[in-house]
Amino acid sequence: MSSTAFAAIVLAAGEGSRMQSAVPKILHEIAGRPMILHVLLALEPVQPAATVVVLGPGMDEVAQTVAPATVAVQSQPRGTGDAVKAARSALAPALAKIGDVVILFGDTPLLQSTTIARLLETRRNSGAAIVIGAMRPPDPGPYGRLVLGNDGGVERIVEARDADPQQAAIALCNGGIMAVAAEHLFDLVDRLGTSNAKREFYLTDIVGIARQRDLAVTYVELPAEEVLGVNTRAELAEAEALMQDRLRRRAMAAGATLVAPETVFFSADTKLGRDVVVEPNVVFGPGVSIADNVRIRAFSHLAGAIVAEGAIVGPYARLRPGAVLERDVHVGNFVEVKATRLGAGAKANHLSYLGDSDIGSQTNIGAGTITCNYDGFNKSRTVIGANAFIGSNTALVAPVTVGDGAYVATGSVITADVPADALSIARARQVDKPGRAAALRARFRGKKS
């Protein structure tokens, strides 16, 4: 048995009825990522030998989300202890190779890898059979209480529903996470009973059973916010706020300037380079990577976009998935970019839609330009070469190519390829009729009742 190898059991079989949602609770997102994935990604750096996620029947969507983690099914909702039992067969191949099992909950998205490592280290160094992740929440009301013995070890955990007034006054609460010596886990779980208010198999009762068998149980006190469980929409909002605060601080510590941090919203995977400036009211959806020395101006929304060094985005710009802005590109106010690459130094400063396009370096896109990428049936691409000029209020009807150095006149509707260095004018010729304005006015006035 390895002294350092461990396995993880993630309990995620709860229906989450208090969320009032058709979506399984653990698939609700925090910072653009399902809660359950936050937990699984927190496990990755500490490298479990095996991970088993315990689900309820019919949770196929969750099973797909957590893949390639192994899934076990708890056939009936009979408590957390029974959920751990459900993981036994899935965990069996790893049991001979591991020293510890960490038990987590799928609705704790703020849990960090360092905390899991700390719990494991305490279990190994203390020699205790069980180490509990404990906390002191501002409102201990709904949480199980840790009852300590004279030696400072944990004698038992009393669930809130079963606590007497003296026990309810205890401030030290169960945070849900625990590390258990693998050699003892299933023997302890097999001894669980249902003598409690809910008539369920409480996992926390293994603490009292361990003490009866003269096995040591201790705890590690953790920040309460890190083991916050999400059971309601209000708690979902609270967890989102805590996660956003964490992500903002992380971005600033890494060298980004957030002009008004409380107004900037990140996804969990947002990447910002050094000396990036993010102005107020900017939202980063999933899949955004920003290089050094970029400025994101106010009220911009980015998702699935890659922005190279020196670019300027916004204000009021929208970068959708597949947007790639190369070095020193400018995308200005009310410009939407989707599945489009803008070459180095290209500019689209205002009021344009650029979809399914390739735009060459140093090309200027005039205000009101639209790449007409969809004909009602198919999407097609627009290709614009380097050093081209696209005049304001131009419609480029894809598929179409504009060559290097071409000049497209203002107000054109381009339906055929434009050769390199050509001037293309695709609009009706202006016709002036001298004196006719006065005649029109006279006619219109005569029609008034």
Active-site residue set? 350
Stated as kind and residue range, the H or E segment containing 241 is helix 233-253
For the chain, how far is it from start to end, CA to CA, in angstroms?
Answer: 99
Nearest to 316 by CA among 287, 282, 272: 282
What distance in Å separates the CA atoms of residue 348 and residue 240, rounded to the nearest whole number? 34
Tell me how many helices (H) and strands (E) the chain has: 10, 33
On whether the CB atoms of residues 116 and 43 are closer than 8 A, the answer is yes
On whether the CB atoms of residues 84 and 200 are closer than 8 A, the answer is no
Stated as kind and residue range, the H or E segment containing 325 is strand 324-325
Length of the chain: 449
Q: Which residue has the tokens 């049936």?
A: 377
Nearest to 124 by CA among 220, 9, 227, 51: 220
On whether the CB atoms of residues 86 and 73 are closer than 8 A, the answer is yes
On whether the CB atoms of residues 281 and 262 are closer than 8 A, the answer is no
What distance in Å separates the CA atoms of residue 184 and residue 216, rounded to the nearest whole number? 12
